[in-house]
Every structure is written in structure tokens, then in C-alpha cells.
Amino acid sequence: MTSKEIRNQFLQFFKDKEHKIVPSAPVVPYDDPTLLFTNAGMNQFKDVFLGQGTRDYKRAADTQKCIRVSGKHNDLEEVGRDTYHHTFFEMLGNWSFGDYYKKEAITWAWELMTDVWKLPKERLWATVFRTDDEAFEIWKNHTDINPAHILRFDEKDNFWEMGETGPCGPSSEIHINLSDDYDNPELVNADDPMCIELWNLVFIQSFRDADGMLHDLPQKHIDTGMGFERVVAVLNGKNSNYDTDIFIPLLENIAELSGKKYEGENEAAMRVIADHVRTLTFAIADGAIPGNEGRSYVLRRILRRAARFGRELDLNKPFLYKLVDVVIDEAGGGMGEVFPEIKGNRENIKKVILAEEESFNLTLDRGIVLFENIIASSGKEKKISGEDVFKLYDTYGFPVDLVELMAREKGFDVDIKGFEALMFEQKQRARESTKKKIAGAYDVDGIEQNFDFDNIPQTLFCGYEKLKKITTVLDFITKEHTSFIILPETPFYSESGGQVSDKGELVVEGNEFEVLRVLKIKGRVIHVVENKNGFEFKKGMSILAEVEEEFRWDVMRNHSATHFLHATLRKVLGTHVKQAGSHVNGERLRFDFTHFSKLTEEEIEKIEKRINTAIRKNIELTHHRDIPFEEAKKMGALMFFGDKYGDKVNVVQFGDYSVEFCGGTHVQNSSQIECFKITQETSVASGVRRIEAVTGKGAEAYLYAKEHELKTAGEKIAKLNEEKRKLEKTIADLEIKSKLGGLDSILNSPVKVKDIPVFKGEVAAASMDELKTMADELRVKMKSGVGVLISPIGEKVGIVAVVSDDLIKEKKLLAGKIVGQIAKVVGGGGGGRPHLATAGGKDVSKIPDALAAVESVVESQS
């Protein structure tokens, strides 16, 4: 049976039992800050279990993409070493929201496993929570399981919890024992690869709070989860999940790329790679990217782990990215058919992985040298110190588990405690420096401890509609020259969602206090004001809270423009563009987003033009406040994965141009943004670009700055041109001077023709004028005589003859006649006045002949 058939059979089975088949939630949970990755099918229903949300159905079933690599459910270390744990897997699940309970959950599970799928009953085992007699009885009396195969376990195995906090309850699991010893209860829950859990039925009835206390939920629910890859293996009579159609194409491709077989010591490495590339593909498709923090760092570690295992197979160049197509088109009959998001993001996923592999290979090479040195220079102890692990981690980006793995291969231990101590110190240092940064003149750290929050209601925000509010002082404290004031209601926005806090002032009894910061702690807004003169605030005093209007408008323009930018980027570059960060202040907006290449000038222009066109269209804002999260999702509102969203959310909509989850403040219609201009486009990390832009006043300031730059540049150019002209003149003068210098040798070696001194020679003049200038100079310097200068000018020949006044008079020598005759030798002619005449010729090669002819010409004419 193919994996596709099995998935469909599961869904059909529950559809027939009136379950709504719902799509998998993204593997990156955008609405639950307690989770890095979706780790169970029930995540998307958490709000229903907690009584905070509702659905229009009471029963649901799906296949959920899950990643278990961090927090309470972390299988990373198991992956590859065994054949049935994965970092990414599909969880088949069915749910009841306050509808059916234990009996149906258990009997239907049994029906599917034994009636539909015909799994051998004698190999199946059921476990229940130690005190759950009800579940025990149902197994015993309502199924035909061997009663000796119903076992009780404690919290560790049969009480399921989503995370440190969240919905939870006792569970009942179905295990299968594929070994010959299948009647042995000792093998259940004993980490035996032949006896594994297939399906977990959780009876959700409690909630664990942040203090670890359990509370009853208003209703009881069913949450089941079956390991899809395991069930596919079992139904195909395989002992390993990797021997199914889900993994075989991947292993075959890895074998082909590495030229090694899936056998012996290669197996674990190949399994790790096959597993991890699925995780990377799905996580990146859903908007995660490898990086340095949180979820991104986990992803980076997974990629590095896979790349490092690749080296075990001599795959030293990037290769993981090549397996993405296999995941999408071949594995599991083409996972892209079941989860179209991976198909739609194919190229982006490959690019992100390739870039990350390339950069890791560089660090890996350098780190490996360091690692080898550490090993070579270590003493007998065979231990890698905490400092060395820290260096490998901090400088070379080696994940700690990678160092452990490499150490293990060499038979070395790793001082993890020492490493953790150094990590702690580093974090401490970072914390100290941020503390210092924010403290400044007014120390706000831990300020909330001075207030009795239990008796202070959460502050209402009225700043969407108003920028001024007359109200009363609800509570305050004053420390040195700083006062901290809480009001029942405030128009002051406090920094969140990337939008900076408002500026402005509080006015009490005619005294104005500048608001230095606006803090929001546990829903209470604290206005931090400068109180130089020690004004004594009193509770109940009337107070005016006034936001600086101009600043707020600048911020609103930039914030609304950010929404237009986000929507436009998706239109111009593609829907792979996802927000990766945003910061909006009065001067500019900064928007980080996933995209692979540098934006071209054309793309930037296109984006700007579209936004400016939209701005001119006067698109109205619709502010949906406090609407259910589900409703917002249905509207197709874009969300930022990093944000936290409660049950009720705010959605900001500009016509059909942009719909986004957002709690920020905005202009009423697009034309109030006035103008949009991108000022910078850069890269912040591999696969993440950053755009900085300005609007309204910022754009005006930008325009003036550019105009000023142009003016200054123009002035500079004019000045440079003037200097250039001067320099050219100097050069020309110098050139002539140097050429005239060349006349000296001609002047020094006259030949005599009938007692007449004849000065002749070849020179290098750039033009006829220059040649004439030289001839003038020659005529002055020679005093008495005949001078002939010949020069190639371009392709032609220039000749000048000069005759001194005495010879014109006494010998009737004429420059025109002389030059005319000489010119004939170079195929030309010319003439001029008696004292100076010029001629041109065509044949440059004849210059020596022409020079040689000078004496005879002078002789013949004298």
C-alpha cells in the first residue's frame, strides 16, 4: 500500500464518522509564542481546548506537518540512530471538541487498526494512565483486544502535555510488537525498535499554567495522533520507516550523489540527511529561515547536522539543496501534491539551502582544522574543554551536538558543563549591555515592581481615534528626576509590532512634562516623564495626555506604507516574500523580508511606482478591531511569524490592496502617505533582504537632500571643468615648450649652402598651427638663414619654410617658393609669404627625401 493510499484511508475513515477534514496548519506556528515549531496536530486547536476559541464543527481530522526538535518534544538526537524517529513527520489525528470522548476514541481507533487495516490483534498493546479505570474498562469490554495486553503506566508515558504550559490530559496509546516475543509486556515502552507506539489517544481535560498548576478545562476533548511514517512501514511489513515509499527515493538519490550504498556504516548518515532535508523543505516553505536565533538557529543546526553527515559520505560540496526536488516530486509519491506550499516555494527553498550549505562549508573547513588541532594537542585525558567547545561554537558556528558527535568519533569527551557556563556568561554580558543602554538618565528596569498591578486595571488605548485625552492620574512613582505615571486611558502608543512609541507630553496644573518613554508592562502603560523640579503628583489629579501630532503622523505614514510595501513585494517578486522584521519610526521605515537575490533597479522602480499609484488612488483604511483570529485568517490577512496574536486580533485593511494583522496606528486613506521612495536595498542575512524607505515629510527631506547633493555636485563639476581647461592649457604650453626645446639641436647644426645657413629638421607637431609656431620661434632664433621644418601631422605631412629678412632682401630668397618645391617631394604643394610659408604633402614616408632635398632647393633659388 502506498503512503498516499494510507493517508487517504485514514481521512476517509473519519470523514465517514462525520469529521471535518481540515488542512494542516503551517509547521511554523504564527499564533503561539510558546512553540518554535508545530509539534502536534492539536496545536491549531489549542484555543478551542482552552475555551478561548470556537470552530463551526465539533469533530475534525487531518494530517499535520510536525517538527520535533526543541522544547518538551525533541527527537533530534534519536534521528538517524534509529529507524522510527524523525525531526519532521506527519501526524494523523482526529479530534472531538466537547463532543465524543473516550469510548468512541478507543473503539474507532481499534476499528481502523484491526478491521480496516487488519493489523494482527495479537501483536497490539494498549496502555492507559495508571488511574484511568474508565479507559481500561473500555478497552476490556468494548474491544476484542487480549485483556492481558492492556497495561497501566504513569505520567511519563501516559499523561500527555503540549509543552511546559498548555492543554493536557491522560492518554491511552496503541503499540505494536513486531518481534517474535510479541506477548512480552516488558517490551512495551522500553525503547525497543521492534515494539513501537503507533497511536496516542489523549483525553484532554486539564490545563497546566505557568506555575505548573493543573486546572480543569470547561469541557472534555479528544486529541489523537498517529505516527504516519510508522504506520506506513508497519502496514507494508517493514521494520524501518526508511524502507517505505516516503524515504526510498531520498535514500536512492543520496546513494547516487555520494556513490555509496545504503548499507552498514553509511546508513545512519543517509537517514539523517533524508530526514533533515524534509524538515528544511517544509520549514522554509512555511517561512522559517536558518539564522542565529530561536527557530532560525534550530533550523541552521539541522542543516549543519545534515551537511556534516554528508561529509561522512564524502559529500563535501553542497548537495542538500538537490534533494528538495526529490521531496517535492518523488518521496511519498510526491509530497508536493499533498502539501502544495512546498511546490510553490520550490526555488526559494533550494536557494536558501544552497546558500546556507555554501557558507557552512567554509566555516566547517576552518573549524575542522581547529578541531584537529585541539585533538592533536590534547593530553591523555581525551577531553575537549568548555573553552574549546565555546570557540568552535561562537567563532566557527559549530552546533554543540556536532562537536559532541565529532568528539565521540575520536573517542573524546566534551566538557558540556564548562561550555554552558561560558554561554551563560555571554548571555549575562549581553543582558548587562542592553540594560545599560536603556537605563540612561532614568532607570526603567524592573520599574513595574514598584506598582501594585493587582489593583491597577490594564490601560485602555484610545490613540486610534484621539491624540489628546483629559484623564486622571491613576498611579505614579517618582524617582529622583523621573516620574512614572499610569493613567486609566491613554492616547500614547507604546512600542510594539515594530512601531516606535509616541512622543508628547503630560500636562498637570499648568506644568508640562515631556514623555521620554512609553512602557507597556502586563497591559499597563507607564509614561516615563522628566520631573526636574520634583513636582508632586497625586492620585486622581486631572491630567492632559497629549501626543505630538506631527511625529505621530510621520510614523503612521511610514507604518501604512510598510503594509503597501509588503503587499507590493509579494505582487512584484512573488508570494515567497514573507515579512522577517519591520521597524517604523518618524523618519523612515525598514522592512526585512525573505527573498533571494538583490533587487534590480527595474524591480525597485516598479515597486515604487505601484505604491505611489496606490497612494494617489486614495484607498480607504478599514480597521477591523478585536475580531476573532479565525475570521482574520479567512480574510487572508498577512501575518508576521514573529508576532504574538491573541484570540482577538486587529486587522488593517486598505481596500483590496493590503490586509494585514496589525495593532499599529495608520493613516485614514492611502493619499495621506503622500509619497513613497525607497532609499536603500541591502542584504541582512542569506535569503533576507532589507528595504529602507521614506514617505511624506521624509520623502520631502530626501528630495531636498538629493537636490542639494546635485547642486553641490554640479558646482563641483563646473569647478573641475575650469581646472581641467586650465590644466589642458598648461599641458599644451608645456608640450610646445618641450618641442621648441627640440629646435635647439636644429639651431645648433646649420648646413651652409653658398654661405647661407640652412636650418632644417623633422619635428613632431600636433597641428599646422603648432608647426607654424615652431617655425616662428626658429626664425627669431636663427637671426639670418633659411629654416625648413617638416612634421607628420596625422596621416599627412606638414612643411614650413622661413627666411630671414636680410636674405629676402639681399638674396631674394622667398619662403613660398622654397616650400613649394620641397612639397613636391612628398606629393603636395603650398605657398605663402616671403618670410614664412607652409605646404602640405601626402606621403609621410618621403619626409627624409624632402629633408634631403632642402639644400639643393635653396641652392637653386639663391
Minimum CB distance to ligand SER smaller for 160 or for 676? 160
Among residues 38, 44, 70, 200, which is the contact residue for ligand SER, using CB under 6 A? 200
Please give the grid coordinates belonging to residue 385.
574543554
- Residue of the chain from 26, 80, 93, 169 that contacts ligand SER (CB under 6 A): 93
Residue 92 found at the interface with ligand SER (CB under 6 A): no
| 150 close to 139: Cβ distance less than 8 angstroms | yes
Q: Which is nearer to ligand SER, 135 or 854 (CB)?
A: 135
What is the nearest approach in angstroms of ligand SER to the Cβ of residue 169? 9
What distance in Å separates the CA atoms of residue 176 and residue 283, rounded to the nearest whole number? 30
CA dist list (Å): 658 to 565, 584, 607, 661, 668 = 9, 17, 14, 10, 14
In whole angstroms, what separates CA 221 from the centre of its chain?
A: 39
172 binds ligand SER (CB under 6 A): no
Distance, CA of 107 to CA of 109 (rounded, Å): 5
Would you say 53 or 581 has its CB closer to ligand SER? 53
Closest distance of CB 606 from ligand SER, Å: 46
Between 221 and 590, whose beta carbon lies closer to ligand SER? 221
Where in 438-477 is the site for ligand SER (CB under 6 A)?
none
* DSSP 8-state class, residue 501: P
The residue (of 83 and 224) whose beta carbon lies closer to ligand SER is 224
- Using N-to-C axis directions, what is the helix angle for 416-439 and 400-409, rounded to 10°? 160
| The 3-state secondary structure of 60-121, one letter per residue | EEEEEEEECEECCEECHHHECCECCCCCEEEEEEEEEECCCCHHHHHHHHHHHHHHHCCCCH
Q: How far is the CB of 146 from ligand SER (least distance, A)?
A: 24
User: Which 696-735 positions form the footprint of ligand SER (CB under 6 A)?
Assistant: none
Question: Measured from the CB of residue 65, what is the shortest distance to ligand SER in angstroms?
Answer: 13
- In the bound state with ligand SER, the residue whose beta carbon lies nearer, of 93 and 834, is 93
Q: Strand pairing of 195-208 and 511-521?
A: unpaired
**Choices 222-230, 698-706, 780-788, 808-816 (CB under 6 A): range interacting with ligand SER:** 222-230
Range in contact with ligand SER (rule: CB under 6 A) among 29-37, 223-231, 285-293, 403-411: 223-231
Q: How far is the CB of 47 from ligand SER (least distance, A)?
A: 15
Asked if 167 interacts with ligand SER (CB under 6 A), we say no
Q: Considering the rule CB under 6 A, would residue 169 count as an interface residue with ligand SER?
A: no
Runs of H (alpha helix) within 463-538: none
CA pseudo-torsion sign 692, 698, 701, 707: positive
DSSP secondary structure code for residue 24 in this structure:
P
Contact range with ligand SER by CB under 6 A, out of 221-229, 338-346, 656-664, 739-747: 221-229
CB nearer ligand SER, residue 40 or residue 352:
40
Least distance to ligand SER, CB of residue 200, Å: 4
Residue 305, C-beta contacts closer than 8 angstroms, at least 6 positions apart? 76, 272, 276, 399, 401, 402
Helix (H, G, I), strand (E, B), or coil: what is residue 297?
A: helix
- Which of residues 40 and 569 has its CB atom nearest to ligand SER in the complex? 40
Which phi and psi angles does 840 have, rounded to 5°?
A: -120, 155
Applying CB under 6 A, the site for ligand SER has a residue count of: 10
CB of 505 to ligand SER, least distance (A): 52
Instruction: Work out whether 662 is an interface residue with ligand SER (CB under 6 A).
Output: no
Over the window 18 to 57, marking each residue x when it contacts ligand SER by CB under 6 A and - when it does not, the resulting string is ----------------------xxx---------------
Which CB atom, from 124 or from 269, has the smaller least distance to ligand SER?
Answer: 124
The closest residue (CB) to ligand SER is 225
Residues in the chain: 862
* Interface with ligand SER, residue 798, by CB under 6 A: no
Q: Is 225 an interacting residue with respect to ligand SER (CB under 6 A)? A: yes
- Give the residue with the Cβ less far from ligand SER, 168 or 638: 168
- What angle, 0 to 180 degrees and rounded to 10, lies between the N-to-C axes of helices 266-285 and 346-377? 140
State in angstroms the smallest separation of the CB of 167 from ligand SER.
9
Q: What is the DSSP string of 225-250?
A: EEEHHHHHHHHTT-S-GGGSTTTHHH
When asked if residue 158 is in the footprint of ligand SER (CB under 6 A), the reply is: no
Which residue, 90 or 404, is less far from ligand SER as judged by CB?
90
- Our finding on whether 161 is near ligand SER (CB under 6 A) is no
Q: What is the smallest separation between the CB atom of 93 and ligand SER, expressed in angstroms?
A: 5
Residue 720, C-alpha cell as written in the block: 573641475
Work out whether 206 is an interface residue with ligand SER (CB under 6 A): no
At 155, phi and psi to the nearest 5? -55, -40
C-beta atoms surrounding 195 within 10 Å: 22
3-state SS, residue 333: helix
Cα-Cα-Cα-Cα dihedral sign, residues 720, 721, 723, 728: positive
Q: Which amino acid is at 492?
A: F
Tell the smallest beta-carbon distance from residue 224 to ligand SER (Å).
5
From CA 456, how far away is CA 474, in angstroms rounded?
8
* Binds ligand SER (CB under 6 A): choice among 31, 47, 62, 223: 223
Find, among 258, 256, 253, the residue nearest to 278 by Cα.
Answer: 253
Regarding 202 and contact with ligand SER (CB under 6 A), the answer is yes
229 interacts with ligand SER by CB under 6 A = no
332 forms part of the interface with ligand SER (CB under 6 A): no
Which residue, 42 or 414, has its beta carbon nearer to ligand SER?
42
- Min CB(157)–ligand SER separation in Å: 11
Rounded CA-CA distance 560/620 in Å is: 11
Residue 692 CB, shortest distance to ligand SER, in Å, is: 43
Residue 596 contacts ligand SER per CB under 6 A: no
Q: What are phi and psi of 82, to 5 degrees?
A: -110, -175
Task: Report the alpha-carbon distance of residue 177 to residue 193 in Å, rounded.
Answer: 9
CB of 88 to ligand SER, least distance (A): 14
Distances (CA, A) of 764 to 728, 771, 779, 791, 821: 19, 8, 18, 5, 21
State the residue for C-alpha cell 523621573.
Answer: 482
The torsion angles phi and psi of 855, rounded to 5 degrees, stand at: -60, -45
Cell for 536? 508632586
Among positions 63, 96, 158, 224, the unique one binding ligand SER when judged by CB under 6 A: 224
**Residue closer to ligand SER, measured from CB, 96 or 582:** 96
Task: Determine contact, residues 608/676, Cβ cutoff 8 Å.
Answer: yes
**Of 21, 60, 80, 64, nearest in space to 282 by CA:** 64
Binding part of the chain for ligand SER, among 217-225, 472-480, 679-687, 709-717 by CB under 6 A, reads: 217-225
| CA 201 centroid distance within chain | 39
User: How far, in Å, CA of 475 to CA of 498, rounded?
Assistant: 28
| Residues forming beta bridges with residue 160, ordered by sequence position | 169
CB of 49 to ligand SER, least distance (A): 10
Return the amino acid letter for 154: D
User: 90 vs 546, which CB is nearer to ligand SER?
Assistant: 90
Residue nearer to ligand SER on the CB measure, 64 or 838: 64
Kindly report the number of other CB atoms within 10 A of residue 269's CB atom.
Answer: 22
Q: Does 160 bind ligand SER (CB under 6 A)?
A: yes
- CB closer to ligand SER, 159 vs 247: 159
Q: What is the contact surface with ligand SER in residues (CB under 6 A)? A: 40-42, 93, 160, 200, 202, 223-225
